[in-house]
Each structure stands twice: as C-alpha cells, then as structure tokens.
Structure 1
Amino acid sequence: MSTLIKKVLIANRGEIAVRIIRTLKDMNIKTVAIYSIVDKESLHTKLADEAICIGPKDIRKSYLNKMQIINAALVTSCDAIHPGFGFLSENASFAKLCEVYNIKFIGPTSKVIDLMGNKNLSKSTMEKAGLPLIPGSKGILESLENAYDIAEKITYPIILKARSGGGGKGMRVVRCKDDLEKSFNTAKKEAENSFGDPEIYMEKYLAKTKHIEVQILADEFNNIIHLGARDCSLQMNHQKLVEEAPAYAICDDLLNKLYEYTKKAVKYISYTNAGTIEYLVDIEEQEVYFMEMNTRIQVEHPVSEMISGIDIVREQVNIASHKKLNYKQNQVNLSGHAIEFRINAYDFDNNFLPSAGKINELNLPGGYGVRIDSGIYQGYEILPFYDSMLMKVIAYASDRNKAISTMKRAMSELIIGGVKTNKKMYEEILEDDNYLKGNIDTSYMESKYKKGV
C-alpha cells in the first residue's frame, strides 16, 4: 500500500536542491530548504515553500549536522527527507536517524547504504554477487606498512580511495614507492575532512580505461530497470567533467554484460530506489571491473533522464512512497544522445584554482535541446566554502554529432561575469579531434592539461 508523502525537506544546497524542489513542485509536494547562515540568499531557499537555517558556514555544523537537520524536518512537519548528492546522501547513520524519527529517507535503507557506502565491504559483496573486481586490498588499509606490502604485490601504479563518499575526495594515484607515504597521509586526512571517515583502501590503477556507469531504478516489489549506461571518462583529478548517455565507443556485447552484472548486483543486495553501479572498462583487453556503487542520485543523472524521458527524482519519491515502478524494462525507450558539462567556478588560466565573487553578468543558454540545471542568478555571491559547481549544461539531440553541435551553441550563449569558470576548457574540448571521435579514456584530460594535476 502506497504512503502519501506531503512535505519533503531537501538536505542539500545549490543546483541539486533546486532540481529536486522543481520535481516536488510538479508533484504538488511541499518543500523545505535548509541553509547555513552564509547561504541565506541561495536560489534553493527562494524556490522552496519554506527555508530554515541549520547553522554556520562550517559544513560540519550545518550541512553535515545530522541532528540539526532531523530537528529542522521535525519542526517543519516534514514526512520525508531527500538528501540529494554529497553531504549526508550516503551516510548510513543519517538514514538510520530518519528511520528512528519516522521520517522517510528518499533513498535505499540504512543497511544497504552502510553495505555499499563502505567501499571495502561493497567490493567483497559484489565479488560474492559474481562481479569482477579490480586487484587491490581486501579491505581498508590497516597501516602504511600494510599499504607498502599490498602495493608491492599488485605493482605500481596504484590508487588510494576513501572508504566513504566519492567525488574524487580522499583519492590519490601513486606511481612509485617513494610517493606512497605522502599520498597515504594526504588521502586519509582529506577523507576525514570530507566524510568524517579517514579509512582508505587500495586498487591497482588502470591507465587505459573508460569509466562507464549504469543507472538503475528498483522498487520495493522486486522490480528493477536500468536507464542505459553513461560514459564519464573525461575527468580531472578524479572528478567527472563531461558525462554522456548512452555510452559510446563501447560494443553492445560489453554493454549487455554490464546490464546483466548490474541487475544481478541489485537483486543480490535487495536494493531499492535510484542507484548507479560504476565500472572501469579496460579498452585494450575489453574487460570490465566493478568500481563502486553510488546509493543516491548522481550529478550526471540528467543525461539518463534525457535519453529515457524518465524523471529520476519523481521515481525516487514514488518508490519511497511504496509505489511500483511504472515501467518494465521493455517499456524503457532509450533514444537520442545527451551530453552534460559541469560549469565550475575555476580559474582555467591559473592552475584551475577556485574562484569566488559576485555574479555581475549572467546569460543562460536556451533553445531546442538545451537544459540548464543551475543554482545561481545574477547578483548571487559565489562562496569559497562549498563545492565550486555553478550549473550543469545539458545538450540533447537525435545523435552524438548533433548533440555536440547543440552544446557548441549552448557554450557560445553562456555568459557568467564576476567569477572565473572552466567554460574555455569545454570550448576547447568541443574542438578536440580525439573527443569528437570518441578516442578518450580516464587519463585523457590530465594528459592534455598538466597544470593543476
């Protein structure tokens, strides 16, 4: 029996909070925005039905303050919380608190988040489910000496990754023994600062790979569908910059293998709600490896929405309301091609340093095939305390070449004054022969732009 969700607190900020609020309004569901003291003028606070301050600029005392957010939901009579991505979206104890206080967490159960959020546990679980793994540590690294031992066995280069969280935080590539100690300490410190969990693990670093991920939706009645695969291979410092759907330059046999692995994994852990399983594809060997599972909506979800015509946030809310999926797999019609560019407040000409300041000029692109997911407006102050992503520009057309042409038009129209951005980088990408032909891998951007890496 379905449960009506009447009011949702969005435990996030920026463009993802705006994006969630818009779908909830379409569903006639009341919304509550949270904000830190310095975030009072953010767009999401203006679009929500209510807005409530949850603390100072320090994310540990505001956007990561679990009880403060729970209290905000209680005092505003919310019956559900949508965590968005980042912050507490993959925090099992926060999801558990929601359960304890009878607030619906719009996502999977705390048990599943705990299982898949701790990357070492997720790897062993996926191995049991039959998914191929990248060679590496069996669990977290117990010490620096332990790291040296494992690195010697699997051989350099290796990559260190945070057990909790994502987005490139707590992640370091180590190419030789002499660099391991510094990278080990840096990764642990960054992981603790970003996620409150200093634990890290190790994998063999595969250089010539594509980063492919499969978007799924699963309800509480054992119905599972996928919305195709995304290519997220264009990255900088392990953070995705360009995402495309469907995944290109990958043969159908390999894609079908990814879909089979993904559904097998989702069934094995009894997963519900929206989720993504990420894989590395060895280009030369045409082998696939399980990378991680994200138990939340992702930054790049719009490209899957564009090619499927399915609003993922709407489906998340419906699943949280104990409703069955409206689609069987054979009813999911994937068509066209979508590309997403992440526009960040970076100084492209100065080592990609973060940029802050007031937006004094703004023109957002539009027209057929262009979607903008944004949390900014003219006069808005870009703060140095939070993520630097300003917006996502999504281009959609009937095929990849046409989508690229649409994106070129969008970039030519986009104007952001007052802060530095990475727009120039995307304009260069759109003229890059290797990108146009699909001849790229996860190391391509760093080899092209050595600065800032």
Structure 2
Amino acid sequence: MSTLLVANRGEIARRVIRTARAIGIRTVAVYSEPDARSPHVLDADAAVGIGGTTSAQSYLDGEKILDAARRSGADALHPGYGFLSENAGFAEACAHAGVLFVGPGPESMRDMGLKDRAKEIARKAGVPVLPDARLDGDDQQEWLAEAEGVGFPLLVKAVAGGGGKGMRLVRTADGLVDAVAGARREAGSSFGNPTVFLERYLDAARHVEIQVFGDTHGNAIHLGERECSVQRRHQKVLEEAPSPVVSPHLRERMGTTSVSLVRELGYLGAGTVEYLLDDRSGEFYFLEMNTRLQVEHPVTEEVTGVDLVALQLRVAQGEAIGIEQADVVPRGHAIEVRLYAEDPARDYLPTPGTLHRYAHQPRPGLRYEDGVAASGEVSAFYDPMLAKIIARGDTRAEAAGQLAAALDAVQVHGITTNREFLAALLRDRDFLAGETRTDFLDLHPQLLDPSPATPPVVHLAAAIAVSVARRRADDLVGGHAPPGFRPLIADLLTTAEWAPVGGEPVLVGYRLGSGHGDTDMVLVTDGVRHEFTLLRLGPDAVRVRHEGVDVPCTVAAHPDGSVWVNDPRAQSGWHPRPRLPEAGAGSAAATGPVSAMPGTVVAVQVAVGERVAAGQTLVVVEAMKMEHPAVAAVDGVVDEIHVEVGRFVQAGTLLVAIAPVEGTLS
C-alpha cells in the first residue's frame, strides 16, 4: 500500500488521512461540488473532484470513486463509514480494478450488511435476537399482519445502512403504513436500497456494542464495549467507553459471543457487533453487525491505546493483529459527543448555512475530530455533524466535566448547533448517575432547550455596546457623541430592533456613555430597565458587570450583519434590524407551509382541490439525509401546489397554498 484513496468526506476522511500520513502512506481525497473547499480536500496529498451535489451523485457513485483511484494512482481505498463502506458490490469492484479495499471480504459484508440476513445468521449461531419480519411487497394488509406477529411497539428499519436513516418507531397499527413508506424513501435515498423490515422495540434498554477485529491468520479479538444509548431519532448523540453498567463478567460474555460470530464469518478487519442490553436482567439481544469503522471509534482508542485506523491498514495488508485478548483492559473513561448543525428545541431541525467561525481550545485529555472549518458553508446535502469532541479522564465524572467545559469554549458562529444541549446533557444528574437507556432524551425533554448559563440581556448589552464602540472608532467626526444624545433632553434612549438568531426581534432602548474603556449603560427591553457597568470596552470585547457579576465577553461581527457573543460559559448570536423596513416588507403572509430549510422535495401527498386538516402532512422535504414533513397549519382546501418531486427548494419557499374552507373564518 503506497497510495490510499479515502472515499469519504468530513471528519472521518480527515481522521483516516491523518493516520495514513503518519505511517508514510500517500493520501488522495475525493470531493463533490459542495465540498470543493472542504478541509479534508486540503488535508490530502492529492484530491480528485467527482462532481455532483447529492450523495447519490457523488460519494455513492462507485464508478466515479474508482475512476478517481485510477487517475490518482491509488492502490488502496479506505471507505470510512457510511456511503460505500458496507457495499459488497463496490468491494468486489475494487478487487477487479486492482485496488485494495480496506475492510472485510464481500461475503462477510453481504452476510452482515443486510440487517435481516445478519439476524438470521446470528440466530443460527445461537446469538439471542428480537422478533422481526421482512417486508418485500406492497400489500399493506400483509404489512399489518406481519406487524401483529412481531408485536408493538416496533421499529421499521432499513435492511441496509445505519446512522438512524430509514428507521421509524411505530407504537400502534395506525402509524405503520406511513412509517413504512417514509422509511423506504429515506433508505433508498441514503443507501440505494429501499428494503425494510420490522423489529420489536424495547422501550428502556441500553444500546451497547462490542468492537471486534479479525485478521487473515485466524486471529480474532474484541476491544471492549461502547455504550451508545443516548440517541435522537435512533441516531447516536453521545457514546462512551466503557459502559457504566457492564461488569467484567458481562463484558466477557458479550465479548466472547461477538468473537464467536467473527470466527464463524472468517471476518477480516474492524467490525462492531451491536446489542440491546436489558441491564435489569443482564440479557442482551443482537441488533446488527457493522462491517466498518464506527463514528464512535475514538472512545475505544482512548481507553485501550490502540489506533484502530492504523490496525485496519496493517490487517488489510495481511499482517496479524498483534494484540492478545488478555492485553485489552480499559483504562480510564472516554466520552464522545457529536456536534451537529441542528436545533434540538425544534425537533432537531437541521440548520445548514454559512459557518463564519469554528474555533476551540486544545487542552490535555481532549480530542477534536473536525469536519468543518470557517469560513465555509454547511451543506444541506449531507449529514449535519460538524465535529466530534472526545474527552478522556480517570473517571467517568472527570471525562464528563472536561467535555462539558470544552463545549462551553467552542465558538460556532453563523448557524444554530446542539452545543448547549450537549453541555447540559453532560451535567445532568441522571446522566452522571449512569441512568442512560435509549429513552433517556424522551424522559429529559428539558435538556433540549436549556436555560442560558448567562442571562441573554448581558449578551445583548455586550453586542450593542461593542457595535457602538466599533462605529465610534470608525467615525472620526462625531464618534465621541453618545448615541441618543440630545442637547435639551438628556435621558432619551436610542431605539433599535435586535433579533436573537432563530428567534423573534426585540425592541431595545439603550443609552451608552461616551467613554472609551469603563462606562455605564442603560438598556430597556419589554419595559424592564437594566443597568450595566462596561469595563474595558473595545471594538472586539467588553467585560459586562450586571447585578454584581462580571462577565468577560468577546464580540464578533460577520459579513451577513450578525453579531455573535461568547463568554466562558455561553454563546449567542444576534441580528440588528434596520430602522426602516425594506421595500416589500409587510406583504401578506404565505397561505400555506414553507420549507423550513433548503432541501429536495421527495413527496407531494395532496392534490389541488383536496380538503386538508390542520396537522396533515402535505409535502416531504429531504435535507441532510433526513426527511422533514411540511404540514397544514389550519383546515382548508389545496389551492395551489408550487413544487414537484425532485425539485430543490430554498428555505422559506412556499410549498402549498391553502384556501380557507367555505363557511369558515379566513
């Protein structure tokens, strides 16, 4: 192996490139049109554009990937995770092209790559599994009959892929048909395979997985477990190693079962065997085997000291694993969180857009796996994960504390993220007690919209004060006159509208002293008067004293007019509004749902003239590999449909016009 093409993007491409370079292997990146300026492209020794915008047009196109390998002289290929990483046909195509595929053989991938088939093999091997049923046809009555046999609640799951894509939770028969249709669409789009199956759902289990490795010499080991129970939409949010509830005896049982499956398959390379664990009874049930590296592999690396990517590359070249099972002993505790461009308070709505700043503070015990850099664009075409942040400590509590503090210090300007949600999660009492089952977030909804660590009015004062200080510094004539100054009426306030990012505008009245350095400030919002002392006020920062507490704030202004404030505990973004309305402002509001974000229309579920009810799904838009239904706000009749399946729409696009039902109030 002399030249390695990394057939992926984002943080995992950067991760593989880093290790390959460290051991002297030349690297090649591939990139789609939206990713032309992405960090992974700049990290590699060479890069090849493969065109396209969506996953299907780029990273899922095996012919384009192999053509890039041929053009760049790559003799090996690492698929990362997702995309083509578990595609047996692609692995065979690599072999035919003379390119070494870093992963298991095609037969193992076929056996384990389809979840229903994998469960059947596990069942034959004596591994406990949950009841399930595959849905091959379009007979909805047959679907219902199979569902009754499996039992409710159940999951509709794509047989291919992972990451929560193509998965729906169904608690009663009423929701089955829509869930199957939606899961099929999403699975086809994400993995190129729309087949789904049904599986019994356990409400309060833990998601525990075992990292395994096999080589061509007949060796097989496991490297302990990871717990991944904290999930949203069946996609992992936080992972840790070891699990807070897995004892050495249970670890041995689960590990031995997993290694037996590896030996049965003659498995090569890195894999993960996933289980649902009932920690009350100690029973565990096979879910699937991922025949690739996992997103959460860093926590295993942190507690075992093994570089899993380096081990993948060695094993792929025919070397032995070189590690005995007895040598694998977890030391300390590691926790990983996934920093997403999404709004947890709005049902995890993805938030693509311009990334003005992304910065963090390196510290001992912390590891950052970044997929983005500023300034850049967070695309609507791919998964919304920006980065992974990993902390290792001697204890679980220490790792959680370090990670929460690291999140506080991360600066992400331009888009809404789940930063505050993750920090609140890590500090939650039940999380720290290890009460992390798959229903954890359902039982802790307050974490989705935590109270700001710093009062928003403090950040608003900092944003206004620094903005004024900047204007004064730029105004050589009248820059020293205080805003709102009048020679006869000294107490008038300057008024302006400031809107928090993602929120409604606030009418603000303020008066700021003219001093450069320490000065006083009065700010009025919603009829409430607030008084501040501003220390060391400058064009980039200010120390705000409010109610006896000093808060050091840095303030950044960006080209879109937004102003972002950070202090050691919190971050907020603000948009100052123009004092005069723009031309055209104040026109009549749209009469139907608009797209909440940029995306592609994948379903139109109504027709012109059809009567609809409030809450009914009208159009489905796919963005960042997830489906987002647009629903009717009120009862009415479909007057116009402005989109069709396959069309890409921008945020705010009117999708369907709804006319009021005759005889009702408009």
TM-score, normalization by structure 2: 0.66
Cα drift, residue 283 of structure 1: 3.0
Give the secondary structure class of the aligned counterpart of 1:60: coil
Partners of 1:58 and 1:41 in 2: CA distance: 16
Partners of 1:132 and 1:51 in 2: CA distance: 45
CA distances 1:259-286 after superposition (whole Å, capped 9, x unpaired): 1110110001111100000000123332
> Of 91, 95, 100, which aligns to 1:95?
91
Question: What letter matches 1:245 in structure 2?
Answer: A
Aligned to 2:314: 318
Which stretch has the larger CA shift, 419-428 or 245-254?
245-254
Partners of 1:253 and 1:208 in 2: CA distance: 22
Give the secondary structure class of the aligned counterpart of 2:206: strand
CA distances 1:318-346 after superposition (whole Å, capped 9, x unpaired): 01110111211112232010000000001
Does the CA-based 8 Å contact 1:363-1:414 persist in structure 2? yes
> Of 237, 262, 267, which aligns to 1:266?
262
Does the CA-based 8 Å contact 1:107-1:274 persist in structure 2? yes
Does the CA-based 8 Å contact 1:141-1:202 persist in structure 2? no
1:196-215 map, 5 Å: 196-215=192-211
Kindly indicate which of the two structures has a greater share of residues assigned to helix.
1
Cα drift, residue 350 of structure 1: 3.0
Question: What letter matches 2:212 in structure 1?
Answer: I
Aligned CA distance change for structure 1 residues 341 and 217 (closer, same or farther; 3 Å): same
Which stretch has the larger CA shift, 98-107 or 405-414?
405-414
Partners of 1:353 and 1:405 in 2: CA distance: 27
CA distances 1:288-320 after superposition (whole Å, capped 9, x unpaired): 100000000010000000001100000000011
Give the secondary structure class of the aligned counterpart of 2:177: helix
1:34-183 map, 5 Å: 34-137=30-133, 139-143=134-138, 144-183=140-179
Does the CA-based 8 Å contact 2:401-2:427 persist in structure 1? no
Aligned CA distance change for structure 1 residues 52 and 166 (closer, same or farther; 3 Å): same
Question: What letter matches 1:65 in structure 2?
Answer: D
Does the CA-based 8 Å contact 2:54-2:382 persist in structure 1? no
Does the CA-based 8 Å contact 1:170-1:191 persist in structure 2? yes
Does the CA-based 8 Å contact 2:104-2:269 persist in structure 1? yes
Give the secondary structure class of the aligned counterpart of 1:373: strand
Aligned to 2:432: 436
Give the secondary structure class of the aligned counterpart of 1:55: coil
Partners of 1:437 and 1:299 in 2: CA distance: 25
Question: What letter matches 1:251 in structure 2?
Answer: S
Does the CA-based 8 Å contact 2:156-2:199 persist in structure 1? yes
**1:328 equivalenced with 2:324 (yes/no):** yes
CA distances 1:120-179 after superposition (whole Å, capped 9, x unpaired): 111111111110011112x44444333211221232111110010001111111100111
Aligned to 2:398: 402
Aligned to 1:301: 297
Give the secondary structure class of the aligned counterpart of 1:39: coil
Partners of 1:371 and 1:112 in 2: CA distance: 32
Cα drift, residue 256 of structure 1: 1.6
Question: What letter matches 2:178 in structure 1?
Answer: K
- The CA RMSD measured in Å over matched residues stands at 1.5
Aligned to 1:381: 377
Partners of 1:142 and 1:112 in 2: CA distance: 26
Counting aligned pairs with the same residue, the percent is 38
CA distances 1:329-368 after superposition (whole Å, capped 9, x unpaired): 1122320100000000012333321112222222213211
Which stretch has the larger CA shift, 344-353 or 214-223?
344-353
Does the CA-based 8 Å contact 2:224-2:242 persist in structure 1? yes
Partners of 2:424 and 2:357 in 1: CA distance: 23
> Of 235, 239, 248, which aligns to 1:239?
235
Aligned to 1:285: 281
Which stretch has the larger CA shift, 256-265 or 406-415?
406-415
Question: What letter matches 2:334 in structure 1?
Answer: A
Partners of 1:256 and 1:145 in 2: CA distance: 44
> Of 26, 29, 49, which aligns to 1:30?
26
Larger radius of gyration: 2
Aligned to 2:613: none
Partners of 1:287 and 1:331 in 2: CA distance: 26
Cα drift, residue 249 of structure 1: 1.6
Aligned CA distance change for structure 1 residues 326 and 39 (closer, same or farther; 3 Å): same
CA distances 1:182-235 after superposition (whole Å, capped 9, x unpaired): 111111111111111111111111111000000011111111121110000000
Does the CA-based 8 Å contact 2:56-2:189 persist in structure 1? no
Does the CA-based 8 Å contact 2:225-2:242 persist in structure 1? yes
Question: What letter matches 1:69 in structure 2?
Answer: I
Partners of 1:333 and 1:177 in 2: CA distance: 46
> Of 398, 401, 414, which aligns to 2:410?
414
Which stretch has the larger CA shift, 421-430 or 147-156?
147-156
Question: What letter matches 1:237 in structure 2?
Answer: R
Considering Cα pairs closer than 8 Å and 6+ residues apart, tell me whether 1 or 2 has the greater RCO: 1
TM-score, normalization by structure 1: 0.96
Does the CA-based 8 Å contact 2:130-2:285 persist in structure 1? yes
Cα drift, residue 378 of structure 1: 2.1
Aligned to 2:185: 189
Aligned length, in residue pairs: 448
CA distances 1:389-427 after superposition (whole Å, capped 9, x unpaired): 000000001111111121122112111111111011112
Partners of 1:313 and 1:268 in 2: CA distance: 24
Aligned to 1:20: 16
Give the secondary structure class of the aligned counterpart of 1:149: helix
> Of 362, 367, 373, which aligns to 2:358?
362
Question: What letter matches 2:374 in structure 1?
Answer: Q
Question: What letter matches 1:181 in structure 2?
Answer: V
Partners of 1:333 and 1:255 in 2: CA distance: 11
Unaligned runs of 5+ residues in structure 1 are none
Cα drift, residue 433 of structure 1: 1.1
Partners of 2:422 and 2:416 in 1: CA distance: 14
Partners of 1:38 and 1:235 in 2: CA distance: 28
Aligned to 2:7: 11
Does the CA-based 8 Å contact 2:336-2:391 persist in structure 1? yes
Partners of 1:154 and 1:78 in 2: CA distance: 47
Give the secondary structure class of the aligned counterpart of 1:37: coil
Partners of 1:96 and 1:449 in 2: CA distance: 46
Partners of 1:180 and 1:375 in 2: CA distance: 36
Does the CA-based 8 Å contact 2:55-2:190 persist in structure 1? no
Which stretch has the larger CA shift, 358-367 or 273-282?
358-367
CA distances 1:39-69 after superposition (whole Å, capped 9, x unpaired): 1100000010000001111221211111110
